[in-house]
Structure 1
Amino acid sequence: MTAPGGARTDRRAMGLVVLGLLLGAGALWGAGSADWFVLTVPTATRGTVELGATGARLQPVVTAVAALLVAAVAALVALSGVARRVLGVLVGVAALAAVGLTLRLVAVPPSAVELASARAGLNAPNAPAGAGAVTATAWPWLAVTGGVVALAAAVLLVVREPRLPRLGARYAAPGTRAATTPSDPDRAAWERLDAGGDPTVGPREGEN
């Protein structure tokens, strides 16, 4: 397939962009649905139990970016040119924000009170009695990985946009016809009639 201006389109790059966005969305959504930090709490009947807070509660931007990435895949079909590049920039900024905020949360974990508040969905005045230390799980790193993959896809989208396939690029522009001679004479006559010519007269010299 050839893009406007004669350059050949890059289907492979388009596939990589879509795959990167979908993988990034899946990783961010999956990570956001899992517990990022856990807190051990002693109980009178069940012994010591773990209370955790999901990434979606601690850092809602993670699942928001996942939804944005899915929407971006659909938008790729409808957009082209500058609009598609703007989309790539927005996706890249969102992915970078998800990575940065997640790393900041890993570097400065929530306190026991903050974790209890996030789990309860409200401001808890105190940590659970006898609570242990807050420990991190591996799920935030999946969010970081998903954000990095989405960022790479966004960069590829911006850089390779002129060569990416466009919706309807396979079709000729309005008013143009393929420069081929129909093998069916009746079909050729109908096409000359549609073009405003005389179907009883054969093609003039220079016509295909």
Structure 2
Amino acid sequence: MTGAAPEAPARDDRRALGLIVLGLLAGAAALWGAGSLTWFTVDVPTATRGTVSAAATGTQLQPTLAAVAALLAAAVAALVALSGIARRVLGVLVGLAGIAAAVLSLRLVAVPPTPAELASARAGLNTPSAPEGVGAVAGTAAPWLAVAGAVVALAAAVLLVVREPRLPKLGSRYAAPGAQAAPSSDPDRAAWEHLDAGGDPTVGPREGEN
């Protein structure tokens, strides 16, 4: 008696796919939002305007954050068209982008910009070096929002790579002409597939279709 060949895992893990999409969108929103917030401020004395506050946003200090956010948003659309190895490659790229965003954000937290860098970044101050009496650089919690977004994106990427064999092929209905999906053993699902294929809703699937 010969053993039957192992069947490929059914692509029905819609919950995992939903979590991946949600993670990518949440990561993109967090990185984009964090990039638009102020990360560091410093008080700078001027000769004509007194003491002014110079601030810099995350995108001004690290433009890569906006690029990663755009990549995550594009990855959501790519999930529809890709499957198999291509989807896993997409997951690896998203994971690397998430790691890069987290590392760059943490590096700014660990080594904040100098007062001179912030003074010349905003408020119209062309200050090549920190003037006398400049205050200390003060940070905000915005970088941690970027780190959180990067971690969420990384988790979504890992889930995509690990669960890809069970993720539904969203673009399967657009397969090349002549390609037919495997018949379903569920009568209700077969009826929906019959309707989706353009069949008459008043006539059920032909015998042998389910």
Query: TM-score if structure 1 supplies the norm length?
Result: 0.77
State the Cα distance separating 1:171 from its structure 2 match. 8.0
State the Cα distance separating 1:174 from its structure 2 match. 2.7
Over 3 Å counting, the alpha-carbon distance change for 1:5 and 1:49 in structure 2 is same
| Residue matched to 2:149 | 146
| Residue matched to 2:116 | 113
Deviations 1:74-94, CA, capped at 9 Å, x for gaps: 111111000000000000000
Task: Give me the identity figure in percent.
Answer: 70
| Residue matched to 1:29 | 32
Equivalent residues of 2:80, 2:171 under 8 A apart: no
| Residue matched to 2:4 | none
Greater Cα shift, 146-155 or 41-50:
41-50
| Residue matched to 2:178 | 174
Of the candidates 112, 118, 134, which is equivalent to residue 137 of structure 2?
Answer: 134
Partner secondary structure for residue 41 of structure 2: strand
The amino acid of 1:76's aligned partner reads L
Equivalent residues of 2:81, 2:171 under 8 A apart: no
| Residue matched to 1:199 | none
Partner secondary structure for residue 146 of structure 2: helix
Deviations 1:86-126, CA, capped at 9 Å, x for gaps: 00000000000000111011001110111223337997412
Partner secondary structure for residue 122 of structure 2: helix
Deviations 1:34-67, CA, capped at 9 Å, x for gaps: 1100001245777544220010011111111001
Over 3 Å counting, the alpha-carbon distance change for 1:171 and 1:72 in structure 2 is closer
Count of matched residue positions in the alignment of Structure 1 and Structure 2? 189
Gaps of 5+ in 2: 1-6, 185-189, 195-199
| Residue matched to 2:168 | 165
Partner secondary structure for residue 41 of structure 1: strand
Structure 1 or 2, whichever has the larger Rg, is: 1
Partner secondary structure for residue 106 of structure 1: helix
Of the candidates 82, 100, 104, which is equivalent to residue 103 of structure 2?
Answer: 100
| Residue matched to 2:197 | none
Of the candidates 53, 66, 71, which is equivalent to residue 68 of structure 1?
Answer: 71
| Residue matched to 1:81 | 84
The amino acid of 1:33's aligned partner reads S
Gaps of 5+ in 1: 193-202
Question: Within 5 A, what are the aligned runs for 1:39-58?
Answer: 39-42=42-45, 48-58=51-61
Deviations 1:103-158, CA, capped at 9 Å, x for gaps: 01100111011122333799741225532000110000000000000000000000
